Structure 1
Amino acid sequence: MFEEAFLKVGERLGALQAKVVVALMGGALTLAVLVAAGVYVWLHPVMHCRQQSALLFFGTAVRKGEHVRHVDGNEWKGFVESAIVPRLPDGFTVLEGQGFYRSVVDGNAMQEGTYILMVAHRNDGDINARLASIVEDYKTRFNQESVLRLDQCGAYRF
């Protein structure tokens, strides 16, 4: 009788231990998912915005070997009309500026004229693909290594 009662208590403790282990594993898994989601949101906050603004900085120095020339106003206007207007029919703003940076070749401080494209847009893959194609078009057309893109969460209305 004592042995039978002891076995029943042992079975209950075994089942209880199994339930505790399963509950702890579930809690650890939930915590891991929440931490991963938090890290993702922390590292990619713009991905969770419904509305965004994008700034694209187009440098004008075109280097071919030792020779440097600059994208002039007519070339920029042609680029805007052929590459930007068709891709951003809802509108955008262009500003002119001066960009400053340190040369990766010789470490010298450099400056060049810059065109800045400002776009307020909804957050979706289509607009991001159109902006990326504008960047690639500019890099190809004017022999550029890069175009700086700055995305920010935004709220806009008309």
Structure 2
Amino acid sequence: MQRFVVIFFLLVLAGPAFAGSAAIETKLYFGLGIPGGGRVGERQWMRFLAETVTPRFPDGLTVLSGTGQWRDPKGQSAKVMSEPSRIVIIVHPETAATAKAIAEIRQTYVKRFRQQSVLQTDQPVNVVE
């Protein structure tokens, strides 16, 4: 049986800094399937999270486990692919430094695990404590 670990960090430390203000909620979608076979294991994921994500956003983030579904528009078949995934949610100020940190996270994952991409969505949010 496969074990899925859901890590949930409340933004307790970051909350007061943003309370009553506008911020950006970024969601990063990480597929765990590795092209050519295999998958990113739990230890590999936890290491990536500890070494790459957490140092860039130490005040807090949320990690959810999921199952992603997609179809490669460049692929030769119209087959729908499904794979386990992790979703990282980060609430942050909109700055050049945070944009750079998020880009570095995405680039590191793509390179380390031979991924095509890491999906990113951004949404303005109003933080209420």
The reply to whether residue 61 of structure 1 matches residue 33 of structure 2 is: yes
The percent identity for this pair of structures is 30
Task: Measure the CA separation in 1 of the matches of 2:64 and 2:22.
Answer: 25
Give the alignment's TM-score, normalised by structure 1.
0.65
**Residue 157 of structure 1: how far off its partner (Å):** 3.5
Indicate conservation of the 8 Å contact 2:63/2:89, yes or no.
yes
Bigger relative contact order (CA 8 A; separation at least 6): 2
What is the correspondence of 1:1-158 to structure 2 with a 5 Å cutoff? 50-63=22-35, 67-103=36-72, 104-105=74-75, 106-158=77-129
Larger radius of gyration: 1
Change (3 A) 1:50 1:123: farther
Give the alignment's TM-score, normalised by structure 2.
0.79
Q: Can you give the 5+ residue segments of structure 1 that lack an aligned partner in the other structure?
A: 1-48
| Equivalent pairs, count | 107
Indicate conservation of the 8 Å contact 2:70/2:81, yes or no.
yes
Task: Measure the CA separation in 2 of the matches of 1:50 and 1:131.
Answer: 18
Q: CA RMSD, aligned part only?
A: 1.4
Which of the pair is proportionally richer in helix?
1
**Residue 73 of structure 1: how far off its partner (Å):** 0.7
Q: Can you give the 5+ residue segments of structure 2 that lack an aligned partner in the other structure?
A: 1-20
Runs of 4+ in 1 over 6 A off after TM superposition: none
